[in-house]
Amino acid sequence: MPQLLSKRWLRCLLALGCGPLITLSLAPFNLWLFAPLACALLYWLLQQDSTPRQGLLTGWLFGFGLFASGTSWVYVSIHDYGSASPVLAGLLTLLFVAGLALFQALHGWLWVRFLRGQPQQLRDALAFAALWVVSDAFRGWFLTGFPWLYSGYSQLDGPLAALAALGGVWLISFVLALTGAVLVQLSGSTLPRPQRAGRLALLMLIWLTGFSLKDQPWTQATGQPLSVAVVQGNIEQNLKWDPEQIGAQLDLYREMSLNAPAADLLVWPETAVPLFRDTAERWLDFMHQRAHERGSALLTGIPVRHTLDDGQKRYYNGVTVLGAGSGEYLKQKLVPFGEYVPLQDWLRGLIEFFNLPMSDFARGPSGQPPLQAQGYRVAPYICYEVVYPEFARELAARSDILLTISNDSWFGRSIGPLQHLQMAQMRALEAGRWMIRGTNNGISVLIDPFGRITADIPQFEQAVLHGQVTPMQGLTPYLRFGSWPLVILCSLVLALSFYRTREVRGGKTPRAQ
């Protein structure tokens, strides 16, 4: 085996194959042990690379395997709903995957060129974990970000789940990467026995801490439970924006809501009302009155159109509250190509995918207040917004209940909606708050403060979900401090590792070949 793995081509194949292990650790597979295994394999592979160029290739292959397996749902969106041919949809998906893999390539290059030290040193493992988190965070920020497939989500049902309330999903990712690197160090025969015992003790301490904090309540109820009704209309995506179908859709949501038992909170999904708010005022006034009569606060997704002073119009993806509540929220984190088209002067008109309905939204302003419903503060996240840890944290800290509405019809029967749900569960766990998730075609759920689903409607069913949520007060450590403690730790580790590595190399870095 050592002779086989000494061959460069076989190590490249292994790098390509170990990326999908992260995907298998996440929803819907949930094989959480594969996450630290993938980290260990990447750490070992990068230790074998002799030049930064080899590290770059190893990282890119790992990333390509990860995103090709984990974001295959992009093909469904482009082909099934963007009307692209199978060849064109496949090509665009490959370009998307190859581009995302560059983030992992950068990780591999930086590690080999600037940070890699002696493989027996604990500092080496800590630097690998720190760079792993920095790479994830950079991918979640650069060019509006793509914060998908973080390894930390694998622990939602694993022993480290409780660490989310301490430092968020990135703290869990840090621990997983550190665990993988330390396991590789422990597998070597040159590590002295005292150091081996110390590494084992460190891993046991971290993992036992995570396990011991399971079900630790960081927040408390601030009121009586509220009844909730979530309407899942299951509207076909190809009918969603058809002018001839708008009346039928409005009738459907009205009848499903009024025929269901009254609830304190009535939730409709993203763009459930497929009309701009200013053109649907009479219908909204009717629903406002009905909600008041039933003692309900109706929270619904609806497009919003604003006219600026110069006469220009801005379009927003929004949420509004009717009945026993108030407020309007305009989406801030937009989906590229789905809600806006980058370089639209060049791309619009090339293929139908770049002309999807409602793909000219503007970004809502920052600092928007929570919505008000039944006297409580509700933090709204529209679709993609719930996958941004720090963005979600800021609004959650000012709220009593979390709400995310979405339309995952774009992803068909792929694994995308299940990954999306898993990230929403993690946001509830990080915040220690109940979350209501309402979607057009599933999965609509209620999530408790520990990230557990308490009620759900399966995908592709037309139904109303009934349950209860409790407003919560207090702040988890993550809501209070955010990622700053982890940022400081990673910065110190990386700075020390960079300094010591340069010192060992005599102030020189290896030349890229």
Q: 366: how many CB neighbours lie within 10 A of its CB?
A: 8
The distance between the two most distant Cα atoms of the chain, rounded to a whole number of Å, is 77
Tokens coding 101: 């893999």
Q: How many residues does the chain have?
A: 513
Task: Please report, as a single letter, which amino acid is at residue 471.
Answer: P
The single-letter DSSP state of residue 307 is E
Tokens coding 223: 């009121």
3-class DSSP assignment, residue 160: coil
Q: Is 383 a catalytic residue?
A: yes
In 324-452, which ranges are E strands?
325-326, 328-330, 371-373, 376-382, 401-406, 435-439, 444-447
Q: Can you tell me the distance from the alpha carbon of 111 to that of 105, in angstroms, rounded to the nearest whole number?
A: 10
Which one of the listed residues 18, 240, 331, 430 is annotated catalytic?
Answer: 331
3-class DSSP assignment, residue 302: strand
The single-letter DSSP state of residue 373 is E
Q: How far is CA 416 from the centre of its chain?
A: 11
Which one of the listed residues 240, 383, 430, 490 is annotated catalytic?
Answer: 383
Task: Identify the CA nearest to 71 among candidates 411, 428, 508.
Answer: 411
φ and ψ at residue 469, rounded to 5 degrees: -135, 155
390, containing H or E segment: helix 389-396
β-bridge partners, 377: 372
Task: Please report, as a single letter, which amino acid is at residue 461.
Answer: E
Residues of the chain by 3-state class (helix, strand, coil), percent to 5: 55, 15, 30
| 3-class SS letters over 191-253 | CCHHHHHHHHHHHHHHHHHHHHCCCCCCCEECCCCEEEEEEECCCCHHHHCCHHHHHHHHHHH
Task: Identify the CA nearest to 268 among candidates 283, 356, 470, 314.
Answer: 283
Task: Please report, as a single letter, which amino acid is at residue 483.
Answer: S
Do 372 and 321 touch, CB atoms closer than 8 A?
Answer: yes
Task: Identify the CA nearest to 175 among candidates 217, 207, 145.
Answer: 207
In 387-509, which ranges are E strands?
401-406, 435-439, 444-447, 453-457, 463-469, 472-473
**What is the sign of the dihedral through the CA atoms of 334, 340, 346 and 347?**
positive
3-class DSSP assignment, residue 402: strand
Do 179 and 41 touch, CB atoms closer than 8 A?
Answer: no
Q: Can you tell me the distance from the alpha carbon of 382 to that of 373, in angstroms, rounded to the nearest whole number?
A: 17
Which one of the listed residues 18, 270, 333, 385 is annotated catalytic?
Answer: 270
Residues identified as active-site: 270, 331, 383
